[in-house]
Structures are given as C-alpha cells and as structure tokens.
Structure 1
Amino acid sequence: MTVLILTSEQDVTADMAVVELNAEGIPVVRLDPAELPGGVDVSGEWAHGAFHGHLSAGGRVVSMSGLRSIWVRRPGRPSARAQAASPWLTEESTQALYGMLRCTDARWMNHPDAARQARYKPWQLWLARACGLPVPATLITTFPRAAREFADRYPDLVVKPVSGAHPGDGTLAVPTTRVRPGEDFRDVAHGPTLLQRRIRKAADIRLTCVGDQLFAARAAHPADGPHASDVVDVRFADAVGPWTPVPVPRRTADAVHAYLTRAQLAYGAFDFVEDVDGIWWFLECNQAGQFGFVEIETGQRIGRAVARWLAGEWSGANPPEEDRNTS
C-alpha cells in the first residue's frame, strides 16, 4: 500500500517524513496538484458498482485503491502550472483530483473538509476556549467605535490578519504588531481587523500534534535587558532563545486532544505564548504547520511520528514511550 503526499516540490518538512517512510520500505508517491494536468494526471472509472482510479506522477502510475493514507501538506492550486491555466481549469482539476481521492478508503492527514474549516481563525478561538484552553481577549471588527472601546478595556493590544495571509503575496507572512498608543482605529472600517490583548511573554511554545502524540518546544524570551518581554512575533525576532523540548501540562494535553477530536484533525501545529506565571495562552492552530525547524533544533522525531501515522502504525492512544511528551 502506498502513501500519497500532496505538497510543493520544495518542502523540507515533507522531506523529513519521506526519509522515514523510505527507511521503512513504505512506498511513497509525492506530487503537487499544481502540475495537474501535464506533470500529474488522473483517471477514474465508475462501472459495475465499483470505482477504479489511477494517478500518474513522474512517469509512475498508482492505483487509488492501493493508497493507505493521504497527507495534504502544502499542495499547490490544481492546474496552476498548466499551459492553459484558468479559473475554470482549476475548478475542473480540483473537482477531479480531490473528488476521486474521496472515493478511496485512505486515511487523511488532514481531510480537506476538516482542513478548510480549521483555517478559520474565529472558529479556532471559539473551539480552543470551548475545549478549555486559555485564549487572550480578542476582537474582530469593522466598527471603529468597537475597536476604540476594546482598546479602552485592554490598552496593550496587538493587531494581526484574520486570515494570516499577506494582502499582496499569499506565500508571505504578516507580522503580529503592537497597536500604537492613541490609535483612532478609523482604518478598521476598511476591512475586518483582529485585535488581541498582548500577553507579556516568558516564552513562545510550539506544540506539534501527530495523532495522539505531542511534541512541545519552547523558545524563551529575555528576562531582562532592552528586549525583555517585548517580542511580539517570534517569527521575526532575534532576541529569543533556541527551541528546546518541554513536557506538556496534562490539562493542556487534554484540551488539545479535545480540540483535535472536535476539529477532526490528525495533525495540528499549535502556537501558544507562555506568560510570566507559566500559563500557556492559545494563539492559533495551523492544520498544516511546519515542524522541520522544531525537529532540527530539538531533535524531536516528528517526521518519524508523521511517517508512522501515515504507515498506519501507533495511531492509537499508546504511542511508544520514547515519543510521549506530557507531564
């Protein structure tokens, strides 16, 4: 049985899992839907009460009935590289590829329907709170007056995109930024704005979840000096410590498992901030988040955990002792 990985050609995070799958002798097909049609082709037949589908990539043809799992990592938009690319061809290619894959018995990491819902930041915040995770006071609004009133209640705020996407280039990240004192919030009327109470950080936490396995890493912030507790977005900061493995508090672990169950996710990369009292505050869950940088810095075998989940190993409640990370 074959593992199918849908991702871009240059994806170091996916490479780590592919290495592990190859080491275990698990067949892998890796393709980017952006190359459909042309570099990637599909065919499906419904006849005599049965479905027979096939994929072709890199000269290799694979039966869809032989797929054991599908990892939707960072796939491109179907037909994006086609010679006659168009919105119509994209929709046709999307319907064909993902519609056929839904006809298989393969396990998904993550299923496209669950992944689509999981991207909505407002829903993430609601679900995190419902599962028992601390969430900073947050407002999403197009009303300047509502923003001003929120700022009166929480004078120390940050602003970030609701979607996380860059307005000019979806491949770029927009840094979370502190709101200036005295902001009048008139520009809020031009588009939904996410304001959130700033948590005074002791550290950033990245919690990577693979099935029931949890891998937590912590990047400490300076306790004193000019940069003490001033880091807003760890992705754009130099004044933070290296990522080191840490145990997951049992209450947080239980809440995260509940989140993944309700969201129907097999994989999630959670971002928390740890405050000066040691509380982990939920910021977001990226259902296709990177783990390569965490594995490189901490030595945590996240790629191996992903490979084993895709291969159908240790997907239940009792992973190997060495892979557990809760306290």
Structure 2
Amino acid sequence: MSDDRPGSVLVLTNSRDSTADVVLRILAERRVPVVRVDPAVDLHSGASLTARYDAGGQRGTLVTPTRALDLRHVRSVWWRRPTAYCGPSDLDGQDAEFAGSQMFWGVGGILASLPGAHYMNHPWQIRNGEYKPAQLAAALRCGLRVPETTITLDPAEARRFCAGRSAVYKPLWNTRYRDLNDKAQQVWVRVVDPADITDRISACPHLFQAKVEKIFDVRLTAVGTRLFATRITSPELDWRRRQDLLTYEPISTPDSVAASVARYLSEMGLVFGAFDFAVTADGDWYFLECNPSGQWAWFPAEITTPIARAIADELESPQ
C-alpha cells in the first residue's frame, strides 16, 4: 500500500512503545496519514531510505513494507524513542562500528533535516535538553526554583556540600546496569550520609542536591502551550521506586510556574517536555528536571487521554 499523500505524520520510535500507540489510535480515528518506523531496526529488515540534493533542493523517499513516503510531504515528525543506531546483525567489530556510525550520521541527518516538517521534538534539541546541568542552568534563567545543587568529582567538595544539611544523590544519566545474575538494576534518588562519600567519587561526576521537604510531587506534561499538571503522592523519596503505591490527581499550575515553563521550552527549543517538581507545604514548586521524551501514558485514562489528544493535535495541526 502506497501512502505519499501530503501531510503525513512520521513517528520514529521502537516497536514496544505503548505510549506512542495511544496517540496513533487517535490519529487513525481522525484519518491522519501516519508512517511509523524504527530506523535502526527497520532499515536492516526491509525498509529503505534515499535522499537527493541538487539544484531543485532536497527530496527523498522512505519505503517500508507498507508505505512509500515522499520526504517532502511530512507535516510533522514525532521523534519519540527510536532504537539507537547500529550496524546489521551480520557485522561485528570495526565493520559493525563503521556501519553504525554511518547510520547515525547519515540516516539521523536525513531524518533531522526534513524540509518544512514540524518536529516534536527535534533530535538535536532532545539531546541538548537531556543534559541535567543544562536543565538546571536553564531553569534558573527562566525563573524556576531549583534546589541547591553541586556536581563534582571532588570527594572533599562533595562532603562539604552534604555536611550539615539533608542532601540527596541522583545520577546524571540512567545508565543501564545489571547485577551478576544479569538482573536489571536501577539507581534511585537516595539520601546521602557524608560519611559514606569515599574517594571513588573522583571516578566520574556526581550530582548532589539539597533535599526538598516536599509534601507531594508533580509531573507537569507540556505540549506546546498546553500544560497538564498531575499531583503524585507517594511514601517514597523517589516516587518511581514503588509505582504501585502512587495516587494521582490533576491540579492547576501556578501562573508563575506556567510562565517559567513556557520560557524554558522556548529557550531549549522544545515543543514537548515532561517536567518534575517537588512541592512544599508552603506551595513552592521546586524544579527537579525536564525530560524531552518523558513518559505520561501510565497515568489513569482521565489524565492520559487529554495529553494524548493534545499531542495528536500538535502533530496533526502544527502551530
């Protein structure tokens, strides 16, 4: 079946992305043409991609087993969670490394440069927005409250920061870890005892932050100018640790926070952002982070559905 009609939505994500499925069902109901592909996987298993550059400009075609998409006719790109680029499975060693790097720079470069397409979010802005130091600096510039934070490789500096205050440690990136039994491990946010800080801190940067005496957390999902704030109540410091204990409730966003979030999205070049806040008894919202590709579809339907519709609106009718 060929689908080269103008105005297709291109969705780049892995085959297990159930969050994308929620939005794609809405787009299907609206009869919006959609092409879903996971380039790192599909281009090694039947799909193909070609781009041409000449006096007429840029053009090209993405072909999957069920679609042929003219790259000039993409109204929007949802860069969700595609698999990392790699070489084909029959290559190894330097050959696989070479092929993987060509995929990253070639395929990634083509799909990040579609003429006239609206990106949610553009991959270069996603990568820029994933750096926690950049997030903290942008949040401060945009007027958000940020807990006192230090990022250091210096054990003495880490001990000084954590001494005399309640401080927490959180990783700068959720690197995959597996134990000796090949069981997946997660590094949770945890309170730090200065006595536990050893010289091994010098192996890599560590992020320490003043603990916010919160009464609840907020996941604020921003889709363009539309904000969806959800109160998350949990007995855990890191609410992700026991999601079976969570309760959810939609809440309003303070005007000052909404204005700062809008500035943050503009400065970081983002259309979508999943913001995490800790809220104190005094009603102060403390910025913790913003994930440019954050999750939201685990919420109850009454919270998930409005977010999914907003994303479908953004993809169908880019502003």
How far apart are the structure 2 equivalents of 1:26 and 1:63?
16
Alignment of 1:1-327 (within 5 A): 1-35=7-41, 36-79=43-86, 82-84=89-91, 86-101=96-111, 102-153=113-164, 155-168=165-178, 173-180=186-193, 182-221=195-234, 227=235, 231-237=236-242, 240-294=245-299, 296=301, 298-312=303-317, 315=319
User: What is the aligned residue count?
Assistant: 304
Q: What secondary structure, in the 3-state scheme, does the structure 2 residue paired with 1:252 have? A: helix
3-state DSSP class of the match of 1:309? helix
1:31-51 Cα distance to aligned partner (Å, 9 max, x none): 112212333310112233322
Judge conservation of contact 2:296–2:304 (CA < 8 Å) in 1. Answer: no
* SS class of match (1:283): strand
Name the % identity. Answer: 35
Tell me, yes or no, if the aligned pair for 2:14 and 2:37 is still in contact at 8 Å.
yes
Are the structure 2 counterparts of residues 300 and 216 from structure 1 closer, same or farther at C-alpha, using a change threshold of 3 Å? farther
Structure 1 position 293, deviation (Å): 1.2
Counterparts of 1:172 and 1:54, CA distance in 2: 41
Contact 1:3 1:310 in 2 (8 A): yes
Deviation of residue 162 (structure 1)?
A: 1.2
For the 8 Å contact 2:60–2:70, the answer to whether it is kept is: yes
Q: Is the Cα–Cα contact under 8 Å of residues 135 and 281 in structure 1 kept in the other structure?
A: yes
Bigger mean CA deviation after superposition, 180-189 or 63-72 = 180-189
Q: Which sections of structure 1, spanning at least 5 residues, go unmatched?
A: 222-226, 316-327
1:295–1:104 CA distance, 2 compared to 1 (3 A): farther
Does structure 1 retain, via aligned residues, the 8 Å contact 2:125–2:268?
yes
Whether the aligned pair in 1 keeps the contact of 2:153 and 2:204 (CA below 8 Å) is yes
Cα distance in 2 for partners of 1:47, 1:172 equals 50
Are the counterparts in 1 of residues 87 and 97 from structure 2 also a CA contact under 8 Å? no
Alpha-carbon displacement from aligned partner over 1:291-312 (angstroms, at most 9, x marks no partner): 1013536355111111110111
How far the C-alpha of 1:83 sits from its partner, in A, is 3.5
Judging changes above 3 Å, is the alpha-carbon distance between structure 1 residues 180 and 103 closer, same or farther for their aligned structure 2 residues?
same
Would the alpha carbon gap of residues 297 and 69 (structure 1) be closer, same or farther in structure 2, given more than 3 Å must change? same
The answer as to whether partners of 1:165 and 1:172 remain within 8 angstroms in 2 is no
Q: What TM-score do the two structures reach when normalised by structure 1?
A: 0.87
**Aligned alpha-carbon RMSD (Å):** 2.0
Contact kept? 2:40, 2:103, Cα under 8 Å: no
Unaligned 5+ residue runs, structure 2?
A: 1-6
Distance verdict in 2 for CA 1:162–1:241, change over 3 Å: closer
Task: Deviation per CA, 1:188-210: give whole Å up to 9, x if none.
Answer: 11211111111122111000000
- TM-score with structure 2 length normalisation? 0.89
> 1:18 aligns to what SS in structure 2?
helix
Q: Name the SS of the counterpart of 2:195 in structure 1.
A: coil
- Deviation digits for residues 70-108 of structure 1 (CA, Å, limit 9, x no counterpart): 011001112455433612111211222222230421010
